[in-house]
Amino acid sequence: VRCRGRNTDTWEANGLASWVHRFDYYYPAEELAEWAPEGHDDAESASEVHLVVNTNRDQGIVNARLLGEILGNE
């Protein structure tokens, strides 16, 4: 699963200096919790589940750490 943040404030904005503004996003914990493998049928039938958090600057690291906390992996 690839989590590529979607900034709803800028997603459809015209005239942005760069496309990176569309993905400028820190996931709220509630939204990341929805992606937790335990809640998906695919996770139950797969031997491994990979979640990739690909956002801007430090957001990927911050989002991945938060997801790790949600999953109980610090």
pLDDT (tens place) for every residue of the chain, 74 residues total:
777 777 777 777 888 777 777 778 888 898 888 877 665 566 567 777 777 777 778 888 898 889 888 887 75
Rounded to whole angstroms, what are the CA distances from 44 to 5, 41, 51, 60, 72?
25, 5, 15, 25, 18
The per-residue pLDDT for 41 is: 62
Q: How many angstroms separate the Cα of 73 from the Cα of each of 8, 14, 22, 70?
A: 29, 39, 29, 8
End-to-end CA distance of the chain: 20
The predicted structure's pLDDT at residue 42: 61
Residue 23: the pLDDT is 77
